[in-house]
Structure 1
Amino acid sequence: MSAEGGTKAVVAALFANLGIAVTKFVAYGLTMSSSMLAEAIHSVADSGNQVLLLVGGKRASREATPQHPFGYGRQRYIYAFIVSIVLFTVGGLFALYESYHKLQHPEPITAWKWVPVTVLVVAIVLEGLSFRTAIKESRGPKGKASWAEFVRRARVPELPVILLEDFAALVGLVLALFGVGMTLITGDGIWDAIGTGMIGLLLVAVAVILAVEMNSLLIGESATEENEARIVTAITGGGEVDRIIHMKTLHLGPEELLVAAKVGIRHDSTAAEIAQGINAIEVRIREAVPIARVIYIEPDIYSTER
């Protein structure tokens, strides 16, 4: 369900950004506004990012091979990390360069003055619809967590990426509208350059946040606190084991979890009883946490000297 919701949000954002990019480039061609150019490049970068997320999802769905026995699930993290690099370089750094250039040579908007304002207002509406789709698809996975907690704790990369991109796009459009509006009101092109610079700083900040979060997922994150609690209950809830000696979990992909646990058993248990107990534990874990695809349970006799 998370993958479907993430794909829907990505596709909605892709179509919105493609249309918006074309209109922004037209507006830039007519007005030569640096804010419009920065926003146009921003939309192109976002469109490319959404394509990357779709490609990552497709490649991650491949079956496991002898060379990659745990599958390709983490490719979704890799492509999401590439997204942060694209947003930083193509979006943020380009906008900062364009702002620096326009600060040296500010130019007022003298023709087609109504075009950039109209384009930006329409773009805000379209981005708002895309952002609404991302919010709607994220409500289920988010649960009771705050939006900031959801971005930090989510193991599915597409929804946090689209949420942050759409949020940055909306704020960037407001900043562009500010820069263009002040330029039209004052006749001073420096406001256009200032708006472009603020867009660049915004995109760099969002790109850094994404890079940090995706880096953590690439290294390997454990199950969420809620899922770990369910796994512990599943292991200890049937009476087959005395205790969990230690347990480790690892996301092999957004929807594939590895569970490894050493459990304490009674010293007089037979091999058949141990095997039956482990099988029962595995069944309960998969019922409690369906994404627990790879489970290793090691029986041992607990000793306080360990």
Structure 2
Amino acid sequence: MSAEGGTKAIIAALSANLGIAVTKFGAYLLTSSSSMLAESIHSVADSGNQLLLLIGGKRAKRAATPEHPFGYGRERYIYAFIVSIVLFSLGGLFALYEAYHKWQDPHGITEYKWVPIAVLVVAIGLEGYSFRTAIKESNQTRGTTSWVDYVRRAKAPELPVVLLEDFGALIGLVLALFGVGLTLITDDGRWDAAGTAAIGLLLVGIAGILAVETKSLLLGEGANPETVRKIEQAILNGGGVDRIIHMKTLHLGPEELLVAVKIAVPKSESAADVAQHIDETEVRIREAVPIARVIYIEPDIDRAGKEQAAPPAAV
């Protein structure tokens, strides 16, 4: 569901940004507004980012190979990290450069004064539609989690990335409208430069958030506490398991979870019984958590004092 919803949100954002980019470039050519140029580059960067997310999602579906035995699920994290770099360099830094250039040579908007206002208003409507789609798809997996925690803890990167991009695009359009509007009112191009600088700072900030969150996913995140509890209950709800000695989980991708657990079995169990209980435990884990694709279970005799404190369940 998260992959399907993420793809739908990406396509909606891509469609909106391609149309917006063309109209913004047209407005810039007519008015020479630096805010319009910054917004044009922003829309181009966003369009490229959405293409990167689609490519990453497709490449992540490749089957495992001897060289990559756990598959390519993390490709989605890699492409999301590239998105943050593109947003920082192509979007944020270019806007800051253009703001500096416009501040040094401020000039008002003397022709086609209505064009940038009309374009920005239409762009706000299109971005609003894209943002609404991203919110709708995110709500299917977000549950009662706050939006901040959802962006921080989501294992599928596409929806949080699109949410942040669309949110940043809407704020950027308002800033551009502010800069262009005051430039038209005062005939002072420095307002246009100020709006452009604000857009640049906004994009750099969003890129930083994306970089931090996707870096954490690339390093390897364990299952969330709720999923860990489900796995623990699934293990202990069957026979042949006295207790969990320790357990570790790792996301191989948004919909692929590795579970490694060491369990204590009764001393009286035969090897055949232990093997049967392990098979039954694997079935229960997969029923409770379908994304648990790779499971390793190590049995041990529950000897008092052999292993005391267990490491954290989710790493």
TM-score, scaled to structure 1? 0.99
Is residue 2:289 matched to residue 1:293? no
**For residue 174 of structure 1, what is the amino acid of its counterpart?**
V
Name whichever of 18-27 and 97-106 sits farther off: 97-106
Q: Which residue of 2 aligns with 1:103?
A: 103
| Distance in 1 separating the partners of 2:94 and 2:302 | 60
Q: Which residue of 1 aligns with 2:72?
A: 72
Post-superposition Cα deviations, 1:218-256, rounded to whole Å, max 9, x if no partner, equal 000001111111001001111321111000000000100
| Distance in 1 separating the partners of 2:240 and 2:166 | 49
Structure 1 position 162, deviation (Å):
0.2
Secondary structure of residue in 2 paired with 1:305: coil
| Distance in 2 separating the partners of 1:73 and 1:257 | 10
Q: Which residue of 2 aligns with 1:13?
A: 13
| Distance in 2 separating the partners of 1:106 and 1:229 | 60
**For residue 280 of structure 2, what is the amino acid of its counterpart?**
A
Is residue 2:53 matched to residue 1:44? no
Q: Which residue of 1 aligns with 2:312?
A: none
Q: Which residue of 2 aligns with 1:56?
A: 56
* Count of matched residue pairs: 306
Q: Which residue of 2 aligns with 1:215?
A: 215
Is residue 2:121 matched to residue 1:121? yes
**For residue 158 of structure 2, what is the amino acid of its counterpart?**
E
Q: Which residue of 1 aligns with 2:313?
A: none
Listed as ranges, the matches of 1:70-219 within 5 Å are 70-219=70-219
% of aligned pairs identical?
73
What is the CA RMSD across the aligned residues, in angstroms? Answer: 0.6
| Distance in 1 separating the partners of 2:226 and 2:183 | 51
Q: Which residue of 2 aligns with 1:277?
A: 277
Unaligned runs of 5+ in 1: none
TM-score, scaled to structure 2? 0.96
Secondary structure of residue in 2 paired with 1:261: strand
Structure 1 position 133, deviation (Å):
0.3
| Distance in 1 separating the partners of 2:24 and 2:183 | 17
Q: Which residue of 1 aligns with 2:310?
A: none
Is residue 2:248 matched to residue 1:248? yes
| Distance in 2 separating the partners of 1:59 and 1:91 | 25
Q: Which residue of 2 aligns with 1:228?
A: 228
Secondary structure of residue in 1 paired with 2:293: strand
Secondary structure of residue in 2 paired with 1:258: strand
Post-superposition Cα deviations, 1:244-280, rounded to whole Å, max 9, x if no partner, equal 1000000000100000000011111111110111111
Secondary structure of residue in 1 paired with 2:259: strand
**For residue 196 of structure 1, what is the amino acid of its counterpart?**
T
Unaligned runs of 5+ in 2: 308-315
**For residue 178 of structure 2, what is the amino acid of its counterpart?**
F
Q: Which residue of 2 aligns with 1:305?
A: 306
Secondary structure of residue in 2 paired with 1:217: helix
Structure 1 position 44, deviation (Å):
0.1
**For residue 73 of structure 1, what is the amino acid of its counterpart?**
G
Post-superposition Cα deviations, 1:99-146, rounded to whole Å, max 9, x if no partner, equal 011111111011000000000000000000000000000001111100
Please identify runs of 4+ aligned residues in structure 1 that moved more than 6 A.
none
Structure 1 position 301, deviation (Å):
1.4
Secondary structure of residue in 2 paired with 1:110: coil
Q: Which residue of 1 aligns with 2:22?
A: 22
| Distance in 1 separating the partners of 2:297 and 2:128 | 48
Secondary structure of residue in 1 paired with 2:49: helix
| Distance in 2 separating the partners of 1:94 and 1:142 | 34
Post-superposition Cα deviations, 1:70-114, rounded to whole Å, max 9, x if no partner, equal 000000000000000000000000000000111111110110000
| Distance in 2 separating the partners of 1:301 and 1:92 | 58
